[in-house]
Structure 1
């Protein structure tokens, strides 16, 4: 929707500039620092409008390029972070599995010592 309004505004501006240029057809004297030239005002208005459009368009293209480059860098960073998070979660799961194995072996040893004490072995060894 925003793009449509920008297009409509651009067309209205172009129409008003065209009407303004057609109304002003008299010759004017333009000082170019090193020389003075007589040109019709319509050419001066349309030329200045064209130069302004080129400048604004160039800035828009530059800004679009910069945003695309930043977008690529951010996507690469997200990919790096996701891969490091996946690696970290894999390591965490391995660590938790190791801790579960050690807890299971500790509980088995405790069960063996309790059973051996019940059988009359005071030292708790088998």
Structure 2
């Protein structure tokens, strides 16, 4: 339904531009960087509308391509994480079959950093001995 409204609005916009261009048929001077010519205003209006359409289309295609690449990268990342979850679930199932009950532990970022510092300081003290 949204696409139908967009098409309808685009057609209305095109009709308005065409009507505006047909009314303005006088020759006007067009200044280029390297010269000046006279063109009918209808051609200037239609060329400007066409260039605006093409420019916005190129930007939309580039954005779509960028988003598509991002989606593919996120899908790959999601597949890797899903396989990691499946592996961990299999390990949990094996532990449960073996009757191993782990102690409940909650590791926060601070505790993890403290554990890593203790391991590092323990290695440093062994190196000095």
TM-score, structure 2 as length reference? 0.73
Distance in 2 (CA, whole Å) between partners of 1:33 and 1:83 is 60
**Aligned counterparts of 1:37 and 1:91: Cα–Cα separation in 2:** 78
Q: Which runs of 5+ in 2 are unaligned?
A: 101-129
Q: How far apart, in 2, do the equivalents of 1:62 and 1:20 lie?
A: 31
Larger radius of gyration: 1
In the alignment, structure 1 segments of 5+ residues that lack a partner are 101-126
Please report the RMSD computed on the Cα atoms of aligned residues, expressed in angstroms. 1.5
The aligned counterpart of 1:114 is none
Deviations 1:77-96 (A, max 9, x none): 11111110000011111222
Partner of residue 68, structure 2: 68
Aligned-partner Cα distance in 2 for 1:33–1:61: 30
* Mapped pair 1:29 → 2:29: yes
After TM superposition, which residue ranges in structure 1, 4 or more long, deviate above 3 angstroms? none
How many residues get paired? 101
Partner residue, 1:14: 14
Structure 1 residue 30 displacement after superposition = 1.1
